[in-house]
Each structure stands twice: as C-alpha cells, then as structure tokens.
Structure 1
Amino acid sequence: MLTITTTDALADFCNEARKHPYVTVDTEFLRERTYYSKLCLVQLAMPGKDDSNGCLVDPLVEGLSLEPLYDLFRDENVVKVFHAARQDIEIFQVDAGVIPTPLFDTQVASMVCGFGEQVGYDTLVRKITKEEIDKSSRFTDWSRRPLSDAQKSYALADVTHLRQVYEFLAKKLKDANRAHWVAEEMKILNSPETYTVKPADAWKRVKTRNNNPRFLAIVRELAEFREDYAQTRNIPRSRVFKDDALAEIAATKPKDHSDLGRSRLLLREARKGDIAEGILKSVKAGLNCKEADLPRTERSGQKLQVNPALADLLRVLLKAKTGTVGVASKLVAPASELDAIAAGERDVNALKGWRFEVFGEDALKLCNGEIALAAKGSNVVSVPV
C-alpha cells in the first residue's frame, strides 16, 4: 500500500494520474475541536482493478506540500470523483482556494439514478459492486500517528471501490441522457460562495420559533459575534455558546454581567471575559437597531398564504413524476419549495434547469388549471383539462 510522505512522491503520482480520464478522491479529517476541518489524510486512486493504482497522502508530515495535488485538481482534463464532496472540497477551498474541477459527486449522481435520498457510500458500494466495507475504523482519530493497517485499508477502500461506483453511475447517466442534470448540480459545489460563511448571515441558520423582528435583531448580532469569534480563534461555535443559549439570551436581553450570570444555558466560560463582553454588546446593538434595519424572516407562514390543497396536489404530482423517471423526490423539490409554488412563488429551483424538465413544467400547468391528476391502474398520471 503506497503511503506518500514527500512532495516529490506526490508529484510523481499526480503526474501519472493526469494521464487518466478520472481520479477518485477522499479525505479523513477532524472537526470536533476546531472551526475549520483539520486535514489528516488524502486518498487517491487512478482507474484500475486493485490497490496498486491507489495511494494515501499524509498531509501531517512536515515539509510535504499539497501543491502537486492542487495542480491535479486544476487540470480540466481529469474528472475528480468524490462521494458527498462538500466537506472534502471545503477543506481545499479554505486551505488553498482550490476547488477540484471538473467535479463528479457520486452521492448526487446516485440520487439522479434512482438510488434514493442521500444514499450512504457503503450502501452504494454494496449495491453496485456487491462488496462490503469494513466500518470498524470509521470513527478513529485520524490525526494520530502511526496509522494502523486497519485504518489504511479502510481509507484506501474508500477510493478504490469508488472507481467502480463512478464508472457504473457515469454510464447510467449517459445512457439515460442525464449527465447534464448532474453537471448542473456540480455548479453549486464548484462555487466558492458555497464554502464561505459570512458572520453577518450566520443568524439565518439559527432555528427559533420567535419571528419577532426585535428578537431576531438580537439573534443576528449574537450569531455574527459568535461566528466571527469562532472563525478568528478556530474553535467550534458550540465552544462560544450553543444555539439554545443564544435564543435564551435573545429572549432575556441581559444588560450587565449580573443578568448574564443568571442564564441557565450559557457555559461558565462565556459569562466572563471577551465572550461576555461580546454578548452584552450584541444584545445592546440588537435593542438599538433602527426599525428599518430589523431583520425579517423570509417566506414566513403569514407571508406565503399557502393553498394547502394545491400543495398536496403538487406533492402527489412530484411523487408520480419522480417515480416514473427514478429520481429522488427531495432532490427535485423539497417540501418548502412545493409550499412556495402553491403560494404563487416562481423563483425556486424546482422550476429551473433539469428540474423543470422532470417536474416544474407540469407543476406550473397544474397550478394554472391546465392539467389534472387521475389514477390509471396503480399509477397517477396527468391529463389535459
């Protein structure tokens, strides 16, 4: 099993990989104790039938540069194949501003090919290659050295099996004329904005039942402070304060350290020092926010005016259409988009690109009264009105 520990050896492997149409890629990383993922291992494999065309790259070795790998990632003639690529690519984008291109994500492709919602890698391998993956090393500490033989075998299997999975899915997409569907999805993964977390927008990820604009203004300030603090110090958000504590603070609106000390959910370390000062300033900023600058939730239930009967019909249509073509329903249109369409909104992904071909065109016809749904045997079909 080839383990690469020098820049020259990595360059040799990557130069050889550039002679092939694709290379499979995976990573092992840790994120429990940091804001940004700590890259611990990179696995690569060129086309082949055994382990001889694969390697493990140890980025923790002093003096090893990943620049030869990044040159391979920039090579437009070699497809870079991942499974559930987002977290892997985020590492390379954050560390070096590099996004592998062209890109192929087998998880997305499997959803287009009828394997269900976000199918796991081991399930996909079992269904396509009839092989079983040993999962015993999945949750080990990948930062510890030396790596065990079991860890190495597990890591390499992630990219050697991926070759057969990719070849199977790529052929199926080509035969069904759906390769452009996956290519559209890859545009999201290829966008640097996908991996950029702006502190000013962090509040939008905080789940809360209270949609009061003043409350949300405090949430916005607290979330922005937490995100900036965590990014600057490379620590998890939860180490600053958790979402439940954030919501509690936004509701109680502490004015001083004494008020802060009465919080039930705030960590002890957050009741003093820089974090405490940041919390109090954030609360004050939210309370003093001008009326015109108060945040408001998008697509609230009061704004949408969803027609529940139409939304139910859209759900039936979606299930019928995706069942016919063998595509995961949630990939085409999540429930929130169906509600939005039923409320009259048209700027949603379900009405764009390949999704329009599969579902969106008929969805609009249904909304406009141009088609109806009828039972035909065990199937639901659309009929002109």
Structure 2
Amino acid sequence: MKTLTTTEELATFCTEAAEHDYVTVDTEFLRERTYYSKLCLIQLAMPGADDSTAVLVDPLSDDLSLEPLYALFKDTSVVKVFHAARQDLEIFYVDAQVFPEPLFDTQVAAMVCGFGEQVGYETLVRRIAKQQLDKTSRFTDWSRRPLTNAQKTYALADVTHLRDIYEYLAKKLAETERSRWVTEELTVLTSPDTYIIPPSEAWRRVKTRTNSPKFLSVVRELAAFRESFAQDRNIPRNRVFKDDALVELASNKPKNNEELSRARLLLREARRGDIADGILKAVAAGVDCPPDQMPKPDRSRDKLQVNPALADLLRVLLKAKTESAGVAAKLIAPTADLDAIAAGLRDMPALSGWRKEVFGRDALRLCEGKIALTADGSDVRIVALD
C-alpha cells in the first residue's frame, strides 16, 4: 500500500492515470467540528486486478499540493469514478472550484440499473464484486498520523472494488442505452449552487410550523447571521445555535440581553459576546423588515384541487412502469409530485428528461383520458382509448 506524500509523487501517478480510460476516487474527511469538511485522505486507483495500481494520497503532508490531481480532474479523456460523490465533490469545489469531468457516480448509476434507491457501496461490493468489506475502521479519526495498516486497507478497498462496480455498471448502461439518464442526474452534482449556501437563503432549510411572513423574516435574519458566523469561523452551524433555538428566538423576539437570557434552548456560549450581539441585531432587523421585503412562503400547492382517483391511478401506473424498467419509484416521482400532477401541474421533474420516457409520457396520456389501465393477472397493462 503506497502512500503519496509529495507533489512529485502525485504528479507521477496522475500522469500514468491519464493514460487510462478511468480512475476511481474516494476521500476520507472529518466534519464534526468544522463547517467545511477537513480533507484527511484521498484514495485513487487505475484499472487493474490488485492493489498495485492503487495509492493513498496524504493531503495533510506539508510537501504535497493537489494541483496534479486537479489537472487530472480537468482531463476529459479520463472518467473520474466516485460512489455517492456529493460530499467528495463539495470538498474539491470549496478547495479549488473544480469539478471532475467527466464524472461517473456508481450510486446514481446503480439506481438507474435497478439496484434500488441510494444503494450503499457495501451492497454493490457484495452483489457485483462478490466481496465482503471489512468495516472495523469505518468510524475512525482520519486526521491522526500515522495511519494504521487496518485503516489503509479499509481506505484502499473503497477504490479497488469500485473498479469492478464501475465496469459492470458502465457495461449495463451501454446495453440498456441509459447512460444519458445518469448524465442528466449528475447535472445537480456538478452545479456550484449545490454546495454554496448564501446566508440569505439559509432560512429555507429551517423547519417551522408557522408561515407568517413576519415570523419568517426573523427566521431569515437569524439563519443568515448563523450561517455567516459559522462560515467565517469554520464551525458547525449547530455550534452557534440549533434550529429549535432559532425558532424559539424568532417566536420570542428578544430585544435585549436580559430577554435573551430567558431563552430555554440557547447554548450558554450564545448568551453573551459576539453571538448574543448578532442574535439581537438579527431579531431587530427581522422585526423592522418592510412588508414588501418579507419572505413569502410557497403556497402554490396549498389550494391544489387534487383528483384522488387520478392520483391513485398515477400511483398504479408508476409502480407498473418502474417495475418494468427496474428503477426505484421514488427516483421517478415522490407521492407529493403525483398529487400535483393529478391536480394539473405540469412543471414537474417526472414529466421531463429520461423520467418522461419511463413514466411521464404515459402519465400525461392518462391525465388526458387517452389511455386506461387494466389488470392481467398480476400485471398492469395500458389500453389506448379512441
């Protein structure tokens, strides 16, 4: 098991990797005590049958720059293969504003190939590579040095088995002509908006029971302060204050330190100093927000007239279509989207792209009365209507 600790060693590996069709990639990181992930280890593997073409890269080494790796990421002749790539991509984008291109995510590909929703790496290793993973080092402090042999073995398995999984899924996608489906799904993963949260938009992630614009204006200001504070100091947002405390503050609207001290859910550290000052300013800004600038909750679905019978038929159609295609139903459309379609909404993911091919086209025909559904034993069949 070779560990690369210098830029020169990494450059040599990346030059060799550029001669191949693909390279598998994984990372180990810590995020419990920081806002941004702390990259602790990178695993890379070129095509091969053993560990000899795989390496560990130590980003904590003072003698190593990741520039050779980022150059490989930009080399469009080499497919970069990840499993459940979202957190890995966030690390690289935040560090260098780079996305691997082209990208292949085996979790996404597996969903499209009928392995179920958000299938885990261990499951794919067992079902495709016919191997068992040693999980003893799964929860470990990857920032500590030196790494143990058990840690290295565990980490390397994340990219060596990934080669077999990639080759299997890529072949299956080519045979079924579904490669384009995966490309469509990966568009979200390679968008900067997926990873950068503007503080002004952080309030949308806070769950509340009240949609009053006045209340939400205070929630927006508190969430924006918390997000900015956490980003600037690189600490988890919950270390500033948690969501339940944020909602409590938005409800009580403290005007001074004495009122702030009565908050039941606020951490002790947040009752004084910079956090306390920021809370009071945020509450005041929310309270004083002009009505025309207050958040307006999305009520577009509140008054939808859902046809329950049609919604039920859409569920039957979805189940039949996804079973036939070997795709998880939730990947096509959640229940709420089926209700929206039954109520007449048409700007829905299920009605565009590859989802339209699998389900959306017939869903629209069903809504328009052009087809009916009939049972043939355990099968559901579509009948065209004149």
1:215-253 CA-partner distances (Å, limit 9, x unpaired): 111111111111111111100010001111111111111
**Cα pair distance change 1:311/1:218, threshold 3 Å:** farther
Separation in structure 2 between the aligned mates of residue 315 and residue 278 of structure 1, nearest angstrom: 48
Residue in structure 2 matched with residue 177 of structure 1 by the alignment: 177
1:8-40 CA-partner distances (Å, limit 9, x unpaired): 000000000000000000000000000000000
User: Are 1:246 and 2:246 matched, yes or no?
Assistant: yes
Which stretch of the first structure deviates more once superposed, 224-233 or 362-371?
A: 362-371
Separation in structure 2 between the aligned mates of residue 214 and residue 374 of structure 1, nearest angstrom: 51
Residue identity matched to 1:275 = I
Is the partner of 2:28 in helix, strand or coil? strand
Separation in structure 2 between the aligned mates of residue 303 and residue 236 of structure 1, nearest angstrom: 38
Cα distance, 1:168 vs structure 2:
0.3
Q: Assess if the C-alpha contact under 8 Å between 1:202 and 1:227 holds in 2.
A: yes
Residue in structure 2 matched with residue 140 of structure 1 by the alignment: 140
Which stretch of the first structure deviates more once superposed, 172-181 or 374-383?
A: 374-383
Q: Assess if the C-alpha contact under 8 Å between 2:214 and 2:286 holds in 1.
A: yes
Is the partner of 1:193 in helix, strand or coil? helix
Cα distance, 1:161 vs structure 2:
0.1
Separation in structure 2 between the aligned mates of residue 326 and residue 118 of structure 1, nearest angstrom: 14
Residue in structure 2 matched with residue 12 of structure 1 by the alignment: 12
1:257-299 CA-partner distances (Å, limit 9, x unpaired): 1111111111011111111111111112222222222212224
1:83-131 CA-partner distances (Å, limit 9, x unpaired): 0000000000000111000000000000000000101100111011110
Residue in structure 1 matched with residue 24 of structure 2 by the alignment: 24
Separation in structure 1 between the aligned mates of residue 303 and residue 273 of structure 2, nearest angstrom: 41
Separation in structure 2 between the aligned mates of residue 299 and residue 367 of structure 1, nearest angstrom: 23
Separation in structure 1 between the aligned mates of residue 155 and residue 269 of structure 2, nearest angstrom: 38
Residue in structure 1 matched with residue 230 of structure 2 by the alignment: 230
User: Are 1:50 and 2:27 matched, yes or no?
Assistant: no
Separation in structure 2 between the aligned mates of residue 339 and residue 259 of structure 1, nearest angstrom: 45
Residue in structure 2 matched with residue 376 of structure 1 by the alignment: 376
Q: Assess if the C-alpha contact under 8 Å between 1:322 and 1:358 holds in 2.
A: yes
Is the partner of 1:91 in helix, strand or coil? helix
1:290-341 CA-partner distances (Å, limit 9, x unpaired): 2222212224652434333333322221111111100111111123322322
Separation in structure 1 between the aligned mates of residue 304 and residue 219 of structure 2, nearest angstrom: 23
Residue in structure 1 matched with residue 188 of structure 2 by the alignment: 188
Separation in structure 2 between the aligned mates of residue 287 and residue 310 of structure 1, nearest angstrom: 44
Residue in structure 2 matched with residue 260 of structure 1 by the alignment: 260
Which stretch of the first structure deviates more once superposed, 198-207 or 284-293?
A: 284-293
Residue in structure 1 matched with residue 39 of structure 2 by the alignment: 39
1:64-89 CA-partner distances (Å, limit 9, x unpaired): 10000000000000000000000000
Q: How many residues align?
A: 385
Separation in structure 2 between the aligned mates of residue 304 and residue 68 of structure 1, nearest angstrom: 53
Separation in structure 2 between the aligned mates of residue 218 and residue 339 of structure 1, nearest angstrom: 32
Which stretch of the first structure deviates more once superposed, 355-364 or 106-115?
A: 355-364
Residue in structure 1 matched with residue 270 of structure 2 by the alignment: 270
Q: Assess if the C-alpha contact under 8 Å between 1:337 and 1:348 holds in 2.
A: yes
Unaligned runs of 5+ in 2: none
Separation in structure 2 between the aligned mates of residue 101 and residue 33 of structure 1, nearest angstrom: 31
Q: Assess if the C-alpha contact under 8 Å between 2:89 and 2:99 holds in 1.
A: yes
Is the partner of 2:132 in helix, strand or coil? coil
Write out aligned runs for 1:82-121 (5 A). 82-121=82-121
Separation in structure 1 between the aligned mates of residue 304 and residue 205 of structure 2, nearest angstrom: 20
User: Are 1:365 and 2:352 matched, yes or no?
Assistant: no
Residue in structure 1 matched with residue 322 of structure 2 by the alignment: 322
Write out aligned runs for 1:187-206 (5 A). 187-206=187-206
Separation in structure 2 between the aligned mates of residue 276 and residue 306 of structure 1, nearest angstrom: 46
Residue identity matched to 1:154 = Y
Q: Assess if the C-alpha contact under 8 Å between 1:28 and 1:40 holds in 2.
A: yes
Which stretch of the first structure deviates more once superposed, 294-303 or 206-215?
A: 294-303
Write out aligned runs for 1:330-369 (5 A). 330-369=330-369
Separation in structure 1 between the aligned mates of residue 141 and residue 305 of structure 2, nearest angstrom: 50
Residue in structure 2 matched with residue 282 of structure 1 by the alignment: 282
Separation in structure 2 between the aligned mates of residue 8 and residue 204 of structure 1, nearest angstrom: 45
**Cα pair distance change 1:261/1:140, threshold 3 Å:** same
Residue identity matched to 1:20 = H
Q: Assess if the C-alpha contact under 8 Å between 2:301 and 2:340 holds in 1.
A: no
Is the partner of 2:140 in helix, strand or coil? coil
Residue in structure 1 matched with residue 152 of structure 2 by the alignment: 152
Which stretch of the first structure deviates more once superposed, 300-309 or 334-343?
A: 300-309
Separation in structure 1 between the aligned mates of residue 155 and residue 110 of structure 2, nearest angstrom: 21
Separation in structure 2 between the aligned mates of residue 60 and residue 316 of structure 1, nearest angstrom: 53
Cα distance, 1:369 vs structure 2:
2.0
Separation in structure 1 between the aligned mates of residue 327 and residue 379 of structure 2, nearest angstrom: 16
Cα distance, 1:371 vs structure 2:
1.8
**Cα pair distance change 1:161/1:317, threshold 3 Å:** same
Is the partner of 2:188 in helix, strand or coil? helix
Separation in structure 2 between the aligned mates of residue 180 and residue 299 of structure 1, nearest angstrom: 34
Cα distance, 1:193 vs structure 2:
1.8
Unaligned runs of 5+ in 1: none
Which stretch of the first structure deviates more once superposed, 248-257 or 227-236?
A: 248-257
Separation in structure 1 between the aligned mates of residue 343 and residue 282 of structure 2, nearest angstrom: 36
Q: Assess if the C-alpha contact under 8 Å between 1:101 and 1:190 holds in 2.
A: no
Residue identity matched to 2:190 = N
Is the partner of 1:292 in helix, strand or coil? helix
